[in-house]
Structure 1
Amino acid sequence: MTTTSISAAGDVTEITRSDASLRRFLHGLPGVDQVGAEARAAGLGTRSIKTTSKAYALDLAIRMVDLTTLEGADTAGKVRALASKAMRPDPADPSCPAAAAVCVYPDMVATAKQTLGDSGVNVAAVATAFPSGRAAMDIKLADTVDAVEAGADEVDMVIDRGAFLAGRYLQVFEEIAQVREACGDAHLKVIFETGELQTYDNVRRISWLAMMAGAHFIKTSTGKVQPAATLPVTLIMLEAVRDWREATGQMIGVKPAGGIRTAKDAIKYLVMVNEVAGADWLDPHWFRFGASTLLNDLLMQRTKMTTGRYSGPDYFTLD
């Protein structure tokens, strides 16, 4: 069975009826040309854009940011401040768009939700024993349910990389599917931690596995492991969602996270999205940046374009 033959839930049911059939499908996917993928990613990263396009790209990137704090020292005050910044990234400029979401630990969801109100900025919560993914299934599901009941609009789950690398593909599939069910109406982002997956072929395989299991988004990293997001890894994930839509008619989102710190880097990713997946993905519903420091550089570049001068690094709040 080829990738293009997946066109209905029945196909997925057939593929996932056993570990052997799922392994056969995943290992039957076309192999990734490492040199070619890295060369194409590097080439796309050198593209330049015109001034008017850059202004649009900066605003679009701001709208795609999941403003994130995932530290053990997080406090309610820090989360409220972050939520306020997500709603009004530049308080001095009401034309500046809001961020897409605020991403926090489950125990901070209620605080973020209360602050954001009906602003339209979503609350995303990491779950399933983030960042390791090493916990019993009932604990992972309870973690998810807690986040959703607290008001999370989106859940960012992390896969068990040990299970995946050991070839227990059906276990990973079933965990994703169960978490998707536990999410109810909340959207599910599945974090791969690509820095631990060893090969680009594994990135392609887990992308397909997660999409078959019901992911709304596929996400590179937790931000806790290096390397985190990279252009070649994101290229492979964008190819996967493009091919998935061609095969099934369904769009799946992509979220690179970790290590994207500058507007220049963000624009490289947007160029890649447009060239690889297509313009339909140039929308916060289908592409996000997981970041904490990226927003400040986007704001500094935006201010430079509107005023002709750079603001100091302390002009915007530090996160």
Structure 2
Amino acid sequence: MTYVSAGREYTRDSRYLTTRITADGRDGYPVEPGRYRLVVSRACPWASRAVIVRRLLGLEKALPMAIAGPTHDERSWTFDLDPGGRDPVLGIERLRDAYLARDPGYDRGITVPAVVDVPTGAVVTNDVSRITLDMSLEWSAHWRDGAPLLYPPALRQEIDAVNDMVYRDVNNGVYRAGFAGSQEKYAEAYQRLFARLDLLSERLERSRYLVGDTLTEADVRLFTTLVRFDAVYHGHFKCNRRKLSETPVLWAYARDLFQTPGFGDTVDFDHIKRHYYVVHTDINPTGIVPLGPDLSGWLAPHGREELGGRPFGDGTPPGPPPPGEEVPAGHAP
């Protein structure tokens, strides 16, 4: 598979299926517990957003989850973690089949996260930004008791603004550096990435969380890039001004989130490393997966409590991951 085009800037294909699952079913897909299946890979930062938000809001029973394997070929993500290599509910080996069930001529990215309508076997949406927002906006009738407000009305404008700049310069910025087709395009992405990380570090010196004094959607979106930084982006994507663990404020912030129920207990470092180093053969042709970095630092004290803040606001932490959704032993600190 080819991710780098010589001489060109990396451009993400964002032509998503934008159908929404809503409380009133205005797009033809009403919120119904158990009707849909959230397909993710723990390797993917975009899918990891949905995994975390689902956990924090307690939507595990209402929105069951399928976990694809960490690697894929040019055709699609596969369900090689399941017995017989098939998702036990959808009955398919490849996520591609669910996209083709929606549109036999589908010619865009076979991406995760994707929400599949179980009765038809067809993907409803893979609109990564909308999926998590709609968990907050449309699925509230099925939240757990004590679920936090991740997208509170009074802070939505600020959350949206932070999300936009984090997406542009950080979430997608690491890819723009890693998949750059020229020295010039790489340097541009590299400078924008670290300039933004410096500004975020300044912001987080004064505040425990990105917006307000509780966890929000903005923290989820930044976390999924930060947690992959030293394991893959620093070396594999050449984002190597310094490691996250050498950036005091962001490292403490990331550890704070990692140690918060619903965040670190969803992270599978083995899947993350295998995905990037095995799938991206044009920038790692040997397919060798690094043994490091040492993960024990993720559990070190972070001291961020001194800044105040209430992680879950008036709510409570989620309980342990449900059976079958635990990160395997040895895949995390």
TM-score, structure 1 normalization: 0.27
The structure richer in strand per residue is 1
